[in-house]
Amino acid sequence: MNQFTLQQKFFLLLLSLITIGFFWILFPYSGAVFWGVVFAILFEPLYRWLLGKTKQKPTAAALLTLLSIVVMVLIPVALITGSLMQQAAGVYSMISSGHIDVGAYFRQIMGVLPDWVISLLERFDLTSLSTLQQKLQNAASQISQTAARQVINAGRNTFDFLVGLTVMLYLLFFLLRDGKGLAAKIRATVPLSRKYKQRLFNNFTTVVRATVKGNVLVALVQGALGGLAFWFLGIQAPLLWAVVMAFLSLLPAVGAAIVWAPVAIYLLVSGSIWQGVALIVWGVVAIGLVDNVLRPILVGKDIRMPDYLVLISTLGGMELFGLNGFVIGPMIAALFIAVWDLFATAEEFHQE
């Protein structure tokens, strides 16, 4: 094996330091950069289609694609966020004014629980309403302190969000317009043979598209179905619960059932039998089967991960990267599987 010369070692050190410095500079806007790359990969087919419609004018096609993303994604998200905040504030106001009596709901549920369940709850000191209220008040106090700090920093947070959004859209435009050339340059620097580089990059784009579509779209569909059921049954703040169910749907196995199952149980024990039965049937048949039917179509069989890996990677990703981790975590896990599969099937790495 050839030894590196002093000049080569110095250049590799310089290359490493400059690369670390570059990513350090990008770190404050890592979320904006990440979503810019994700949207560029997701909407690349739309850009290619618009490129043909605009007679091979990259700038016009990129601008039209950017406009489509704003109309189809960003504006609906902003409208839903605004409505969500209004419903959350409305629920809080009704609880504070006494229109929603949490104590009455608690006593009603405790009155119909079997003895063994009550005994189990007593071990955790959860059968006393006053004790439960004290625990909830302590949690609410911590949440209020956090919310107060966020309100104080609201101006700065809003400014940072707008700057991040601007950076994302600006970067997205150039990734759409010049992405093909940039990808070719990156591919040329990877020290692998052409067939493995092609397979690696194909796996990367497939994983990104499948992860976002498989996780986000399935979560949106499950949340929408759950919110529709809550609206039909007259449950308060259906949009709020729809968003909560969509978020929890990112977790396999349990997912949206964490929300609709307790509500169905409460409807049953409170005497609303047909509403409770209808919610259970809807939850199992409509919401539950979406994950088993829609996810394989969107993700595909090649990179479909086991549920336990999706769960662990989602929770781990959110712990490390915050809200962005619900995409980053499963994406890294899927890439881990794809790269190790490439390594296992590559003859160059197993020659004796």
pLDDT tens sequence across 34-43: 888 888 888 8
Phi-psi region of 237 (alpha: psi -120 to 50; beta: other; left: phi over 0): left
Cβ atoms 26, 33 nearer than 8 A: yes
Give me the pLDDT at residue 63, please. Answer: 92
Tell me the per-residue pLDDT of 119-145, one tens digit each, with 9 for 90 and over: 666 665 555 555 655 555 555 455 445
Tell me the average pLDDT of the chain: 76
Q: Which of 292, 291, 268, 289 is nearest to 278 (CA)?
A: 268
Give me the mean pLDDT over the 189-204 stretch.
75
Domain positions in the chain: 30-99+128-189, 193-346
**What letter would DSSP give residue 242?**
H
Using the CB atoms, write b or e for 203-214: b if 16+ within 10 Å.
bbebbbbbbbbb
Return d(Cα 314, Cα 316) in angstroms, integer.
5
Using the CB atoms, write b or e for 149-164: b if 16+ within 10 Å.
eeeeeeeeeeeeeeeb
pLDDT band at residue 30 under the 50/70/90 scheme:
confident
For residue 351, count other CB atoms closer than 10 A to its CB: 6
User: Which of helix, strand or coil describes residue 57?
Assistant: coil
Tell me the per-residue pLDDT of 231-274, one tens digit each, with 9 for 90 and over: 888 887 788 788 888 877 777 666 778 788 878 887 877 777 88
The token pair at 137 is 């008040």
Give me the pLDDT at residue 20, please. Answer: 92
Query: In the chain, pLDDT over 90 holds for what percent of residues?
Result: 5
In one-letter notation, the amino acid at residue 215 is N
Report the alpha-carbon angle 283-288-292, nearest 5.
Answer: 165
- C-alpha torsion sign, points 192, 193, 199, 205: positive
Alpha helices in the chain (DSSP H): 6-26, 30-42, 44-53, 58-69, 75-97, 102-112, 115-123, 129-152, 154-189, 194-212, 218-232, 238-248, 257-269, 273-282, 288-299, 307-321, 325-345
Cβ atoms 91, 236 nearer than 8 A: yes
Give me the mean pLDDT over the 27-36 stretch.
87
For residue 47, count other CB atoms closer than 10 A to its CB: 21
Return d(Cα 341, Cα 333) in angstroms, integer.
12
